[in-house]
Homo-oligomer: A and B are copies of this chain.
Amino acid sequence: MLRVTVWNENLHEKEMPEVAKIYPQGIHGAVAQAVGALDGVVTRTATMDMPEHGLTQEVLDQTDVLFWWAHCGHGQVSDEVAERVAQNVLNGMGLVVLHSAHKSKPFLKLVGTSGSLKWREIGEKERIWTVDPSHPIAQGLDEHFELPHEEMYGEPFGIPQPDELVFLSWFAGGEVFRSGCCFRRGMGRIFYFRPGHETFPTYYDPNVIRVLQNAARWAAPLKRVDGFPCPQVEPLEQV
């Protein structure tokens, strides 16, 4: 059984009627439904307005993979919760970072860079190409798929070189982007996936759903540990 928690700042849904219309259960609801359609996956959701943003240590201990969507509320996430999430990733919990969460506190803590990028919000066409067809996250996809209307994100993207690069995006307006990036940190696995602007029904797209499902399985921990200590050790040899 794979236990997935989908976290969302859940701000646009409350403030922008057009977002609420597209995602009546919230973006977290749509993502949870997508991933939860997989056999053997159980999902729960958590949002920023819950106590401790819904991410108590107990919840994280029961989470194999955490999905994170956020945009304008990065600064409202408490440092304590952000640190707790990052530590849990280092201890083995998977993390799937969605769209504008490229600037979220947990992601930036884990990659150490700026997360900066270019953007343009005119709803242009995005075409997502698989550069590593052997990768588990690319399984079941064609060589490329299209999203008719998305926000554009452009390079240079302020990330370390990904451990594995899975997808590249082409945008009608002339930009490219590393849209599917794997990072291994500590015992945990992190996948950044670009699409998912709040004003488009991206998380209902069958190909996007497939990526979310593949990512949940890929990021699932083999085992969880209680942190890496720095132990003083006895010599193993006669020195």
Contacts and interface: CB of A to CB of B under 8 A. Distances in A.
A168 interface: yes
Contact of A90 (B109, B110, B114, B188): B114
Given A233-B118, A239-B124, A158 B186 contact: yes
Kindly report how many copies of this chain are found in the complex they form together. Answer: 4
A154 B187 CA distance: 17
A72 to B, nearest CB: 13
Nearest to A121: B232
Contact of A114 (B121, B130, B186): B186
A84 interface: no
A166 to B, nearest CB: 11
Interface string A160-180: 110111001111111110100
A133 B156 CA distance: 8
Interface stretch (A12-20, A23-31, A45-53, A221-229): A221-229
Interface residues of A, number: 73
A96 interface: no
Interface of A: 86, 90, 92, 103, 109-114, 116-122, 124-125, 127, 129-134, 136, 139, 143, 152, 154-158, 160-161, 163-165, 168-176, 178, 183-189, 221-223, 225, 227-237, 239
11 contacts: A86-B112, A92-B134, A110-B112, A111-B112, A113-B185, A119-B232, A120-B235, A124-B235, A133-B156, A133-B225, A161-B163
